[in-house]
Amino acid sequence: MFHGSITALITPFKNGEIDWKAFENLIEWQIEKGTHALVPCGTTGESPTLSHDEHMAIVKRTVDIVKGRIPIIAGSGSNSTREAIRLTAYVKEVGANAALIVTPYYNKPTQAGMYEHYRAIHDEVHIPIIIYNIPGRCVIDMDVETMANLAKLPNIVGVKDAAGDLSRPLITRHEIGRDFCQLSGDDITAGAFLAQGGAGCISVLSNIAPKECADLQNAWAHSDLETFEKLRDRLVPLARDLFCESSPAPVKYAASILGICEGDVRRPLLPASKMAREKVEAALDFAGIKAQ
């Protein structure tokens, strides 16, 4: 259903507010360079610091700009089941193709609690749902058994897996089947995830290297291993160093170098430090990525 290079969009800010012109330009550039789908209002979009009105406005603006050219998987998760239902109903209403719903953070539900959270959203809003499993941010880790039970529900269609365990896609594929869409949530494992049965990557890196990330995924799909390996190896320092500090500060600094948007992030995040800036600059240089 969903595949390839899927950009977890940054939210450009200017003077503390959303820079809508930069956001529109970013989306058009992503489509032009071959990105396969877009994710507005994920972690990379700084969803924790967006107001509800901003969150909804970003999803709607994304739908309005894209006009059906590529799929939109809108972030609509919350640690409140009611809130997640409300956001998911909205993204369906405005025309998103799917909802990316993060496991509930902070309140630490059990496996049974996670199941009931997703089941309630699934039963209330009829839209394809991708589970976002990211233990490093949410503390909890959805196990494969819980995911397999959720996958029996017709609209639970896949997972964004940021658990960092490359045995996981193989085991998940064995337990759930080939049709369950598995997407890497980590740029550093994007290539290896494909080899383990994944369908693509929801990527931070593709904000600043959309063509390279799309070409990497396309090369794998077409069994062009020579191109795949060259791109994989070129992108390694960026895939690593865009996370040298809390994301999205480093990728926003990279975006500012490339003229995409300013490097502003919202508190409690801070702009990239001198150390992070130096790492990002070196990684951009290694990858041969420059301002257009």
CATH number, residue 126: 3.20.20.70
Domain that holds residue 69: 4-228
Q: Is residue 176 part of a domain?
A: yes
Task: Compute how many other C-beta atoms are within 10 angstroms of the C-beta atom of residue 178.
Answer: 10
Is there a catalytic annotation at residue 90?
no
Residue 132 corresponds to which amino acid? Answer: Y
Q: Is residue 264 part of a domain?
A: no
Q: Is residue 169 part of a domain?
A: yes
Q: Which two tokens stand for residue 221?
A: 């799909």
pLDDT at 261: 97
Q: Is residue 279 part of a domain?
A: no
Among the listed residues 101, 94, 160, 99, the one whose alpha carbon sits nearest the alpha carbon of residue 126: 99
Those residues with Cβ within 8 angstroms of residue 123's Cβ, 6 or more apart along the chain or in another chain: none
Which DSSP helix (H) or strand (E) runs through 218? helix 210-221
Q: Is residue 268 part of a domain?
A: no
Q: Is residue 155 part of a domain?
A: yes
CA–CA distances in Å: residue 274 to residues 18, 83, 241, 253, 287: 25, 38, 13, 11, 20
The residue from 132, 252, 253, 279 that is catalytic is: 132
pLDDT in tens, the chain (292 residues): 799 999 999 999 999 999 999 999 999 999 999 999 999 999 999 999 999 999 999 999 999 999 999 999 999 999 999 999 999 999 999 999 999 999 999 999 999 999 999 999 999 999 999 999 999 999 999 999 999 999 999 999 999 999 999 999 999 999 999 999 999 999 999 999 999 999 999 999 999 999 999 999 999 999 999 999 999 999 999 999 999 999 999 999 999 999 999 999 999 999 999 999 999 999 999 999 988 6
pTM of the model: 0.97
Q: Is residue 263 part of a domain?
A: no
Q: Is residue 243 part of a domain?
A: no
How many structural domains comprise the chain? 1
The residue from 92, 160, 252, 279 that is catalytic is: 160
Is there a catalytic annotation at residue 160?
yes
